[in-house]
Amino acid sequence: MRDDIDVLVHEVGTRDGLQAIDTIFSTEGKMAWIKREAEAGVPQIQVGSFVPPKLLPQMADSGEIVKQSIQIPGLTVSALAPNLKGAENGMAAGAHQIGVVMSVSEAHNMSNVRRTTQDSLDDFARIVEFRDTHPEYKDVCLSGGMATAFGCTISGAVPLPEVMRVAEGLLERGADRLSVADTVGYANPGQVKELFDELYRTVGSDIAIGAHFHDTRGLGLANAFAALEAGVRELDSSLGGLGGCPYAPGASGNIVTEDLVFMLESMGMRTGVDLDGLLEAREIMERQLKDEPVHGTFAKAGLPLGFKYASAA
Amino acid sequence: MRDDIDVLVHEVGTRDGLQAIDTIFSTEGKMAWIKREAEAGVPQIQVGSFVPPKLLPQMADSGEIVKQSIQIPGLTVSALAPNLKGAENGMAAGAHQIGVVMSVSEAHNMSNVRRTTQDSLDDFARIVEFRDTHPEYKDVCLSGGMATAFGCTISGAVPLPEVMRVAEGLLERGADRLSVADTVGYANPGQVKELFDELYRTVGSDIAIGAHFHDTRGLGLANAFAALEAGVRELDSSLGGLGGCPYAPGASGNIVTEDLVFMLESMGMRTGVDLDGLLEAREIMERQLKDEPVHGTFAKAGLPLGFKYASAA
């Protein structure tokens, strides 16, 4: 991580948010959002997903979006890929980081991609092998994503040892980074601390670990704080909390980027992000929405009197 | 605290919520809300405020509300009082707990009640003396409330030593309990931990300490979790987050009772509260509103699959 920030805020609204809503943003519209948010100082943005356009038409221009985004100075560009084919396309477009997500819950993985987690781990190994046999991609960071790590809408509770098993499986197969996701908004802060404490004990503190929380039941930022307490220093979030949960109509999606940045900077943790710039990016995003709600309270309340950015302290 | 609960959830929407909105609830309407919420297991409800009706017409029936509420079996009935006169009226009505709030910030206290915090501390001493010289009120709990403990809209940051000074001042004058409030929604979880750690060091762990958070900038439940981590076991909240902040139009008020209860029970902390019952109380409250928004995400998302109450664990 850059030495001028303490926590890496990873914007995922341009992927997780956009794929969850009906409105399809134009390539220009996405780029206006990405550029303004990068300009505000957000260090990493997940700009797309290399899935078949038939499945997610919102993501059909991901190749073009990656190509344009990597021109933005200083921005780390990440993208999701569900399989080797997607990962190849993402690397070919020039993404700096490819996230490959599998569900810790067997039932969820089976329902989502019709594969066992073991099969998904083997797929991950093939992606690593592809990267390692193509010197032009040697700098691509391969992130192993663990969905439903805090619970599953099909099987309920997900035992901690299963999360550890998948984490170790990903690292054994060459993952450069882990991402732990509360895909369905089941996590609570006590559980979050317990999981990350156990994860650091299991895999050591050298590996970069990110956390991905949804605010489905209002605990998103409490969970983020709990993750920070456990030592996590990379957090996914979505501008205006764009997105949602298909199981909870009207419920919010990822934790809200601007609320998260406000929390971090208030706590003295440098993010490199300017909140005014973030609100401008939010407006650029919001203008392109049709009926989709945006979330978050910082945008309404603004900065407290006497607020100081952590980097200015 | 009762030995069948781990955290005391103190509903304040019937006071803090109702005094912040335009709609004036009828006495019957308030009682329908209070009864249903008490029936759902909420152990303590702040049912009113003994202020001049001219200032807060919403609270004009507080005497009657207290009289009816103390008939509800098992419910601890609290009320606010701004001064000795209000405290006398509250005790005469039969309130079990009287909260007397002053601002830690001199500028805020002066603006709010035109008194120095030293004068307000002396007022508190007179209320304690009144209680102590009236044997019929010997069981009334006098709670010393510290507003703007985490920051002030007039003077900005509030230094920690000033919070400790007021806390010690309240205890020296006989407060049975302390309540620490983020009146204007400035707190962040790092600050919350620091403040409560210092407060327990200063006043010891025997004294009951409550925390009162607003969700103005989205950090309400993160702050609540931080307070729990520091050892706080009494939390104020408002059903549906009713209320708001006059400085932040559209911003939410207190932390949301149902989201808080969900967080606590998920974390294995017994509240004694039934969430379905709470949602019914929310409906009773919501039906009486005109244009005021309610907040919270639990009401939309519901319980996760496989959820177990802490008391059932």
Per-residue pLDDT, B249: 58
User: How distant is the Cα of B288 from the closest Cα of chain A, in angstroms?
Assistant: 22
Subunit contact B156:A306, Cβ cutoff 8 A? yes
**Cross-chain CB nearest to A218 (options B188, B191, B256):** B256
Which residues on adjacent β-strands are paired with residue B78?
Answer: B46, B97
Which chain B residues are within 8 Å of A221, Cβ to Cβ? 218-219, 221-222
Which chain A residues are within 8 Å of B222, Cβ to Cβ? 189, 221-222, 224-225, 263
Per-residue pLDDT, B258: 97
Q: Residue B191 has which token pair?
A: 């600050």
pLDDT digits (tens, 9 = 90+) for A115-170: 999 999 999 999 999 999 999 999 999 999 999 999 999 999 999 999 999 999 99
Subunit contact B266:A191, Cβ cutoff 8 A? yes
Question: Could you tell me the CATH number of the domain that includes residue B79?
Answer: 3.20.20.70
pLDDT digits (tens, 9 = 90+) for B208-236: 999 999 999 999 999 999 999 999 999 99
Subunit contact A256:B218, Cβ cutoff 8 A? yes
User: What are the strands, taking DSSP E only, across chain B?
Assistant: 8-11, 44-49, 76-80, 97-103, 141-147, 177-181, 208-212, 234-237
**Cross-chain CB nearest to B153 (options A251, A268, A305):** A305
User: How distant is the Cα of B245 from the closest Cα of chain A, in angstroms?
Assistant: 9
Task: Assess if residue A238 is contained within a domain.
Answer: yes
**Cross-chain CB nearest to A251 (options B249, B301, B304):** B301
Which chain A residues are within 8 Å of B251, Cβ to Cβ? 297, 300-301
Subunit contact B190:A216, Cβ cutoff 8 A? no
* Other CB atoms within 10 A of residue A192 CB: 29
Chain B's closest residue to A246, CA to CA, is B301
Subunit contact A218:B262, Cβ cutoff 8 A? yes
Subunit contact B256:A301, Cβ cutoff 8 A? no
Subunit contact A189:B263, Cβ cutoff 8 A? yes
Which chain A residues are within 8 Å of B213, Cβ to Cβ? none
Task: Assess if residue A1 is contained within a domain.
Answer: no
**In chain A, how many domains are there?**
1
How far, CA to CA in Å, does A36 sit from each of A44, A239, A262, A278, B141? 13, 12, 18, 8, 54
* ipTM of the complex as predicted: 0.94
Task: Assess if residue B175 is contained within a domain.
Answer: yes
pLDDT digits (tens, 9 = 90+) for A58-79: 999 999 999 999 999 999 999 9
Task: Assess if residue B266 is contained within a domain.
Answer: yes
Q: Residue A124: phi, psi to the nearest 5?
A: -60, -40
Which chain A residues are within 8 Å of B296, Cβ to Cβ? 218
User: How distant is the Cα of A232 from the closest Cα of chain B, in angstroms?
Assistant: 15
Sign of CA dihedral B39, B40, B41, B46: negative
Task: Assess if residue B3 is contained within a domain.
Answer: no
Question: By the 8 A CB rule, do B187 and B196 touch?
Answer: no
Range of the domain at B72: 8-312
Task: Assess if residue B198 is contained within a domain.
Answer: yes
* Other CB atoms within 10 A of residue B313 CB: 8
pLDDT digits (tens, 9 = 90+) for A289-307: 998 989 998 999 999 999 9
pLDDT digits (tens, 9 = 90+) for A223-272: 999 999 999 999 999 999 998 765 555 567 899 999 999 999 999 999 99
pTM of the predicted protein model = 0.95
- Is B245 annotated as catalytic? yes
Task: Assess if residue A163 is contained within a domain.
Answer: yes
How far, CA to CA in Å, does A312 sit from each of A80, A128, A268, A300, B193? 34, 40, 9, 24, 22
Which chain A residues are within 8 Å of B256, Cβ to Cβ? 218
Is A199 exposed, middle or buried (CB count within 10 Å of its CB: 0-12, 13-18, 19+)?
Answer: buried
- With a CB cutoff of 8 Å and minimum separation 6, the contacts of B110 are B116
Task: Assess if residue A211 is contained within a domain.
Answer: yes
Q: Residue A119: phi, psi to the nearest 5?
A: -60, -40
